[in-house]
Copies of this chain bind each other. A is one copy, B any other.
Amino acid sequence: MHRVVIVGCGFAGLFAAKALRHSPVEVVVVDRTNHHLFQPLLYQVATGVLSEGDIAPPIRDVLRRQSNASVVLGEVVDVDVDARELTIDTLGTAIKQPYDSLIVATGASQSYFGHDEYALHAPGMKTIDDALELRGRIFGAFEIAELKPDAAAREPWLTFAVIGAGPTGVELAGQIAELSHRALRANFRHFDPANARVVLLDALDTVLPSYPERLRKRAHRDLERLGVEIRLGTRVTGVDARGLDVEGGRIEARTKIWAAGVQASPLGRLLADRAGATVDRSGRVQVQPDCSLPGHPELFVVGDLMALNSLPGLAEVAMQSGHHAARTITRRLQGQPPRAFHYRDLGTMATIARFRAVVSVGRLQIAGLLGWLMWLVVHVAFMTGFKNRLAALANWAVAFLGHGRRQRTITKQQVFARVDALESSPAKAA
């Protein structure tokens, strides 16, 4: 039977797998983790609204009823496009995985623009591990502030810098501000968490650059009303354990989060090397109109790793391109010609805080409560599985109608190692 191997099980990979449900093919899904990830809600795991299980269902549980699909836990380390075979590192053991068609959907990670040394001090937010690390750092910073004897020593621990004012940065900054004003109320005795400083920085001169001007202004205003300090046109020139250097100054901030730019998965460059593909500056692979590689009709690149018609790195593009590649394979098996991928723009949305979101759909621009309700409906609709919807709604009820954050547990792996590193710097006495 024709074997389709799908590498990566984010939105693109999962939608490709599901689209092959009734096709006469064998589907093998390869992923480095045991879970699919509802990435747009990672910021809620980082800020204690949702648990990791709420947005990261096991891939094999999601696909359990799809009898033509199996799942391999492993990382692709090489591809032989002539032999049509992948080499996969499965927890230390290399195995070979032949394919007839290959769909590569390994997405993107954050880019530090050549400064990878920032990563230790300003983690990004692309994986569950990232989000749990950030959760530990954010709630841990408040814990440490409570231990400091005087306000001056507390201040850098109560300063949170979010670098990058795209949707991820905006949503995180808004959530941290809301956390400090509402969820942590009355939790501390030596300071008022509402005085925490949340700084949102971007080198560009606007928040949410991909949104229409009216919504950008609205988001900017809503964030400022939440108490977020927005510094635009500000380039970050250095990041260390104690804070960051920006053009024209220094911000002492123990907690820094990197949300500024993405780079494509290294599999893009591997395909360039092995299959003669062309990659753009951020490592994305140029594809044909049907999402396949030039000269390799059996090899598709979809989702955030795909460069096609300047399409943005959105969940919706990933879902649709994954689905398209799968349909193209099915059509080919039926003797039909490939079709070009046409992205149906269903709009974009970003939450600022509870009851406030901005939504852009075609010419429609919606903000405030109505936008937030649309955000809620869309996110519930797209969550994977009834179980996760139910639980997310329960957690959201607690977070948005009540004032709590149910998922604030700090584990030893997350915060303590970092604190040691931070505290052993000269500021230890502080």
Where the two chains meet, the residues of A that have a C-beta atom closer than 8 Å to any C-beta of B are 33-35, 48, 51-54, 56-58, 60-61, 64-65, 70-74, 90-93, 95, 128-129, 132, 139-140, 143-144, 146-147, 185-190, 387-388, 390-391, 394-395, 397-398, 402, 404, 406-414, 416, 419-420, 423-424, 428
Contacts and interface: CB of A to CB of B under 8 A. Distances in A.
A412 B129 contact: yes
A129 B132 CA distance: 13
Given A387-B402, A387-B404, A93 B147 contact: yes
Nearest to A424: B92
Contact of A92 (B48, B129, B139, B423): B423
Contacts of A73: 143-144, 146-147
- Tell me which of A56, A402, A406, A409 has the highest count of chain B C-beta atoms within 10 A of its own C-beta: A409
Contacts of A408: 34-35, 53, 57-58, 61
A424 B139 CA distance: 37
Given A34-B139, A57-B408, A73-B146, 12 more contacts: A53-B406, A53-B408, A60-B146, A60-B187, A64-B187, A91-B147, A91-B416, A91-B420, A387-B398, A387-B402, A391-B394, A391-B406
A147 B72 contact: yes
A387 B410 contact: no
Nearest to A410: B34
A31 B57 CA distance: 32
Closest 10 CB pairs of A and B: A51-B51, A53-B407, A413-B413, A64-B186, A70-B189, A52-B409, A60-B187, A56-B409, A92-B423, A58-B408
